[in-house]
Amino acid sequence: MKLAIVIGASRGLGAALCESLLEKEYLIAGFSRTEPLFSTHPSFHYFNMDVTQTEELSSVFNEAMQMMKANQASELLFIYNAGIVQPIGQMGTFKANDISRHYAVNVIAPAVLTNAFIYFSQQLSALKRMALITSGAANRPISGWTCYSSAKASMNMLVQATSQEQSAANIPIHICGFNPGIMDTDMQADIRNQTKEDFPQLERFQAFHKEGQLRSADAVAEALTKCLTSTSFPDGEITDVQTYL
């Protein structure tokens, strides 16, 4: 069987990716806080997961892998799609709990689940590929996005360092970072509802929407599926949606 593990499966890119992979006859283990609408599909299996509860992630993940009999898969895909952009604003104005939640979702959870996936699958002979959903914000400082930019920069290094480690493994796991670009999702709507004081680039992002520059989640999901199933998977790289459109 071909098994895809999607963290953040209920909305936006995660939901669109699940639908794309279901069409390609993947069995899917979908993790999210809320159950997606397509959970009745016979090849989709839903597992409740709150990625802010970082101490529970490994046990939830391992129980799901046992239930899915993932050790029998001929192909394993792992996609970390969960992410938040809040808090948006200037450093010095945030509540400590909001900062902690941000890094739990965008830094700690992907590291914990990457560790759990590698621990589970390292010795399996299956084709094993991972994609962590990153952002162009990782490459440059953006006023108002100090948490988000720094978190995604951390994710990129997680990808690159993990790939370097896996290059020496007997049965390597391949991993990339995937930048989806600007999509028409709830996150973009949230960004557009900020104040210019908190997010100086507000007008630029409002223009993306007004001028129809936002890609649909379905289009990005198709590009990500191409990346994950490509014969030339970008192992160790931070790749971009444009490469696969």
Residue in 26, 80, 148, 244 annotated catalytic: 148
148 is catalytic: yes
Alpha-carbon span 137 to 158, nearest angstrom: 16
Furthest-apart CA pair in the chain: how many Å?
53
Cα end-to-end distance, the chain, whole Å: 27
Alpha-carbon span 20 to 71, nearest angstrom: 23
Q: Record the tokens describing residue 51, joined without a space.
A: 């990625």
For residue 78, report the phi and psi dihedrals to the nearest 5 degrees: -125, 125
Q: Record the tokens describing residue 86, joined without a space.
A: 């809040």
Instruction: Give the residues across from 178 on adjacent strands.
Output: 133, 239
Closest CA to 92 of 144, 19, 48: 144
Alpha-carbon span 65 to 207, nearest angstrom: 43
Which residue numbers are catalytic?
A: 148
